[in-house]
Structure 1
Amino acid sequence: VSEDVAAAFTPDEVLDVFEFSDDCTYDSRYDYETDTLEGGYDMWLDCGSVEGSNFVVLAANPVGESSPIILLYTLLPTEEDRSVFGELVSTLGIAGAVESSQASEQEQLLSNPTATVAVDRLNVRSGPGTNFNRVGAVERGDALIVTGQVNNCGWLQIVTPDELEGWVSGSSQYVTLDARCADIPEVETPSAPAGGGTGSSQGGSSSGGQASSGNASQGCYLFQNGLGTELTITFTNRDSGKGETFKIAGNGEIEKCFAPGRYTYTLDAPPPWGSTNGELTVEAGDTFLFPINPD
Structure 2
Amino acid sequence: TPTSSPTPLPQGQVQASVLNLRAGPGTQYESLLSLQRGMLVDLAGQYNQCEWIKIRVEGQQEGWVKGGDGFLTFPLACANLPSGTFRPLNGSLLADTRTRPGMGFLSLQNQTSADALVFLNEDSGTPQLAFYVRSMETFDLSGIPNGSYQVFVARGTEWNGDARAFERLEETLRMQEKLVFKSAAGQASLWTLILRTLAGSTENALPISPAEFPPLP
TM bin (shorter chain): 0.3 to 0.5
Which of the two has higher C-alpha Rg? 1
Q: Normalization by structure 2: what TM-score? A: 0.38
Bigger proportion of residues as strand? 2
